Structures are given as structure tokens and as C-alpha cells.
Amino acid sequence: MRAKIVMLLGTTLLTGGAVALLVRYLAGLWLFAAQATCSPVLQGHALLLRADVNLRADDGTTPLMAAAASGCGWNLLELISLGADVNAQNHYGETALSKAAARGDVAILRLLLKHGAGASVNIPARLHKVTPLMQATIAGHTRAVRLLLQAGADLSARDFRGRTALDYAQQGTSPEHRVIARLIKYRLQQEKPKAGAQ
């Protein structure tokens, strides 16, 4: 799309279609800038210009993913209400849920799960196969780990090296990692009787 805009700006006369394309491009830029700055005003302007809430950046990131990564709750909620795909993945397999898990942002995680992101609770990133639970564990976000466990995070999921969330917790050095390891072990103990009953 950038090439089209550069080509359009190089002409002396912009047609109606070219102006519309330019406005749409700028609205998209504003929408992403609104997520980076957590600005509901900027987001409002972008949406007034009919920015696509499922617009993709070059790496496939959506405004919703950017809002989750920045912790912009109000912007995120508005994007969801306008039809943003809560389970969309970028080219790396990341979702809004994985971005919020990496931040340990429990409020954003709850919003996403409430609006259907439970389907992406076990989606691993493409490169290293790290799940949202693993991301929260690596960063030592105890409350986020609890919430993801309640949402049905798969404890048996393995990354590209065969490590589980428990492995990451046991390798961590902070007190939070020890708490997370106990949480995961407890959950595994709860799941054993269920597996034996089947």
C-alpha cells in the first residue's frame, strides 16, 4: 500500500479514488498510532475516517494486538465492539492474548477472554512455539498465569525445544517463578485423576 501512496503523491492531480485511498491509509496509520499512545481521541479520529479495525501492518499485526501490547483497555474494548478479530494472528503466530500475556496485563487478558479469545489460549507462536501461558511464565506474571490456567491453558504444550510452562517456571530465578511452578504442579495434580477416570 505504501508504494501506491508514494505513486499517488508523485502525481500532480489526485482523483477521487486516490484521495479516498490516501485518507484510508492515513486513517490506518492513526489507528496504529492511537494504540502506541493509548489515545482514545486519535483512535476516534481514525474511526471517523472509517479505518479498518482489522487492518494489518506489514508483519500482520492488527490494531487490537497493538492495543493489547500497549495495555490500552478502552481502545481495545472499542475495537472489539466494532468487530475486531480477537483471535487474529500475525505472521509470527502472535495474538492479542499472547501480547497481553507477555505483559502480564490481567485486565486486558480478562477483556479478551470475555470477548472470545479463549480460542487462542493455546495457540503457540510460529517461530519458537511458545504459548501465552509460557510467555506469562517466562516473565514471572503470576496473576496472568492463574487466569490462563482458569481459561484452559494446556500444561502439556511444548515449545520448539520440548519445554513446557513448568520447565520455564523451574528455570526461572525469581520468587514469582517458584509460585508459578507450584501453581502448575498443583494443576497437574488436579488433572491426573481426570485423566485416569477416562
| 13 within domain boundaries | no
Look up the pTM and report it: 0.85
Average pLDDT over residues 125-149: 96
Average pLDDT over residues 99-118: 96
Ranking 68-77, 130-139, 165-174, 185-194 by mean pLDDT, the lowest is 185-194
Q: At residue 14, does pLDDT exceed 70?
A: no
Classify residue 75: in a domain, yes or no: yes
> Is residue 71 in a domain?
yes
Say if 146 falls within a structural domain: yes
**More confident site: 16 or 152:** 152
Question: Which stretches within the chain are classed as H helix?
Answer: 2-9, 16-37, 40-48, 63-70, 73-81, 96-103, 106-114, 132-139, 142-150, 165-171, 175-197
pLDDT of 184 > 60? The answer is yes
Look up the domain containing 134 and give its range.
2-6+19-197
Structural domains of the chain, count: 1
| 170 in any annotated domain | yes
Q: Is residue 12 part of a domain?
A: no
- 46 has a pLDDT exceeding 70: yes
CATH of the domain at 81: 1.25.40.20
Domain presence at residue 11 = no
